[in-house]
Structure 1
Amino acid sequence: MPKNRFRTCAAVTAISAFSAISMPAEAGDETPLILPLIKLEYPGKPKNIRMLYVTILSLGDRKINQPLLLDTGSSGMTIECQSVLPAELCSENGIKITESRELDGIIVTTQKVVMHYATYDEYGNVASARVTFGSPDASVSTDRRVSFVIRYKQVRRGTGEIVGGPLWPKGIFGISPIGGEGPNLMIKSPMDAVKVGAGLRKGYYLSPVGSKWKVCTNEDGNCPEVEALHIGIPNDMKKNFRMQKWKQANVRYNFPTLDACLSWGAEPVCRPTLYDTGNSTIMVPTETSKPYSSLEAGTQIVVKSEGQDDWNFKTTYKPEVEIVPGLEHNIVGIRYFEKNSLLVDLDSQEIGLRLGH
């Protein structure tokens, strides 16, 4: 860790007003940059909690080397306080600063924010920096400062319990292209600030990550990597996907949805549907008066998404498909990404799926 250079900023204006720093691009470079993702299954119970992580190498001039949960279902990045700041500044009661400061090119403000996720909230302070992520052999940086959240605690929404521990992600790398969170929706996907090579469209796609999972932890450093995150989109790549304009089914959603129906020999459940790397199961809604339930292993599922090919699969464990009271949309989780692909074109505001490649 570099020596701390933690100083007061005389004035910190709106984060979005920071000037851009241009990054050189190779002329005629039409090959996407492929970044590795960490692939892990959490040890312990419940089983089959499977996630993808991307490593944040640095923020500003400060080396970080911290894996964060890759999440296509949320916008914007959060990162644990102790991964970024000196430990004495971090507490569950807040970050111990009284005025905005700079640390190795990271602007840390006193502006507090709460980020909302499925069952819990993250509390933190707004910060900004250039972000470098990937691996030492294959990395990419934002071409300007981006806003993110340095979190100091996580709270389970239903109980108010402060949660955490070694198996909790040290933060979220949300790459949804829609909306944002925080003041004036300023916490947005870092992908929007990544400059791609000449001849490539701005955006990214995920190739299949494979169906074999290893029980491991980021702390032990024993998890496999898979080269699956492609930065920049060749024009001919889009021909392999079924592309359509992304939708924001509700103004409260900061993620794109496709209209889809999930069925398993009963009445289809048709809702706006999120394809979500940050969810380890598949979730479908039911009426709020009905209890939570899940489908048995071996159940044949058909996903019919508007404008897309049908996806058929068989559940391998219970509760791989959960039926959740009060949920407003379908969530297709990590199972989809094992053998299928997702593409997000930021230039044309399109999203596409590709089965079996």
Structure 2
Amino acid sequence: MKNKYAIAPQFFYLLFVILVASSCKKDSTASKPVSATPVTLGMYEAGSGSNKRVFIPITGIGTQSVTYYGIFDTGSSGMTIDATGILPASMITSSGIQVTGDSVVNGITVTSQQAVVSYGDKTSTTKEYGNLAYADVTIGDQNGNLTLKRVPIFLYYKIVDGSGTKLAAHSSDVFGVGPGISYANSAIASPLSYYSPGTNLTKGFKLATLNTSSFTSNGTFVAGLLSIGLTSADLSSNGFIMHPLTYSSTGGYSPNIPATITYNGTSTAAQVLFDTGTPSVTIIEDQKATSGVGSLPANSVVTVTTNKGFTYQYTTTTTSNLTAIQNPNNTADYRTIFSIDFFINNEILTDYAGHQIGLKNF
């Protein structure tokens, strides 16, 4: 009996041809990698005059939505944040974070590894006490955000300034994007260094010039300040002068760049740190300086020339480009540290993969 569902052989041949053609077309499309584009985020400029900061919104830690603002700091490596409001209050005591082994709380892996993070020099040192932890961290806010997966962070329970005064919770949360590793724990580095930006991009970030008029007491959101993921043009043809970094077994790749500093007719060799985390005064360390040199007067001209030919010159005023001269024998800190004022007229990029810093005059 004739099967009423029978299909002509010609149809099977046509179907076979269509399937083969579709398969070839699909494979051809899939083999072409899609180039990624950098993620661009805005940040907040706050303060004025001789005290300015740039803050990055932190809106997620582990499984929790939060609202904190970390100091965007090119001068340190690693994220430090107060445990208050992130861990249950019962875990935080005056003597430390109560944890047995490695514990997962609110999506955060809190380890029993304790450490102390210090900022400043021997004349005034702020210290944070806490534990190594791991968590997903979301940066940015409703204007645009990015989640960084399983970032090592320093979760502190206490912060004390140079005079021994305990500071308020979250008064000094830092988002350190320097190229090295934290002295507190070698597992901690810049949160941005753990982000894979995608095809044809290099791990790293680029910071646009800051806007003087955006520094306000309440903070002003400035779109597009931070670009995460570097293009080949950024690294070769966008005008940045690249500076290879030196590796140390203790701090990793150092952000300090060899340079010559000239001020008021005096010249000195220097290791220069360009630091968004220094809010007011540029510190020039000069071994020839006397203890009585102090702050440079207004209208002093300062020039920095790096070993790769990047040059920047500025003139001090009574409210901006404040500059002090110190002797490293007194401070125990040999670095010349340029403050946030530098970033109003210059751009910086950090290439984590190639271990180099790029500088560019605006």
**TM-score bracket for this pair, using the shorter chain length:** 0.7 to 0.9
**Partner Cα distance (2:269, 2:229) in 1:** 32
Q: How does 1:118-267 map to 2 (within 5 A)?
A: 118=120, 119-142=125-148, 144-157=149-162, 159=163, 161-165=164-168, 168-169=171-172, 171-183=173-185, 185-217=186-218, 222-238=219-235, 239=237, 240-248=239-247, 251=250, 255-267=254-266
2:361 corresponding residue in structure 1: 355
Greater helix content: 2
How big is each residue's C-alpha offset from its partner over 1:25-51, in whole Å with a ceiling of 9 and x where there is no partner? x95344311111111117xxxx62111
> 1:246 Cα shift?
1.5
**Partner Cα distance (1:71, 1:132) in 2:** 17
Q: Structure 2 vs 1, CA of residues 250 and 347 (structure 1 numbering), >3 Å: closer, same or farther?
A: closer
Greater strand content: 2
> 1:167 Cα shift?
8.9
Question: Is the CA contact 1:269–1:284 (under 8 Å) kept in the aligned structure 2?
Answer: no
**Partner Cα distance (2:315, 2:276) in 1:** 19
- Is 2:318 aligned against 1:317? yes
Letter aligned with residue 284 of structure 1? I
Q: Structure 2 vs 1, CA of residues 276 and 227 (structure 1 numbering), >3 Å: closer, same or farther?
A: same
**Partner Cα distance (2:230, 2:346) in 1:** 17
**Partner Cα distance (1:324, 1:108) in 2:** 40
- Is 2:40 aligned against 1:34? yes
Q: Structure 2 vs 1, CA of residues 166 and 115 (structure 1 numbering), >3 Å: closer, same or farther?
A: closer
> 1:263 Cα shift?
1.4
Q: How does 1:64-103 map to 2 (within 5 A)?
A: 64-103=66-105
> 1:311 Cα shift?
0.7
> 1:234 Cα shift?
1.1
User: What residue ranges of structure 2 are gaps of 5+ in the alignment?
Assistant: 1-31
How big is each residue's C-alpha offset from its partner over 1:147-206, in whole Å with a ceiling of 9 and x where there is no partner? 11111112234x4x033248933x1111111132324x1121111111103221211110
> 1:338 Cα shift?
0.9
**Partner Cα distance (2:339, 2:141) in 1:** 25
User: What residue ranges of structure 1 are gaps of 5+ in the alignment?
Assistant: 1-25
- Is 2:283 aligned against 1:277? no
Fraction of identical pairs, as percent: 25
**Aligned-residue RMSD, C-alpha:** 2.5
Q: Structure 2 vs 1, CA of residues 129 and 249 (structure 1 numbering), >3 Å: closer, same or farther?
A: closer
Letter aligned with residue 270 of structure 1? A
Count of residues in Structure 1 that have an aligned counterpart in Structure 2: 318
Larger Rg: 1 or 2?
Answer: 2
TM-score by length of 1: 0.81
Question: Is the CA contact 2:272–2:335 (under 8 Å) kept in the aligned structure 1?
Answer: yes
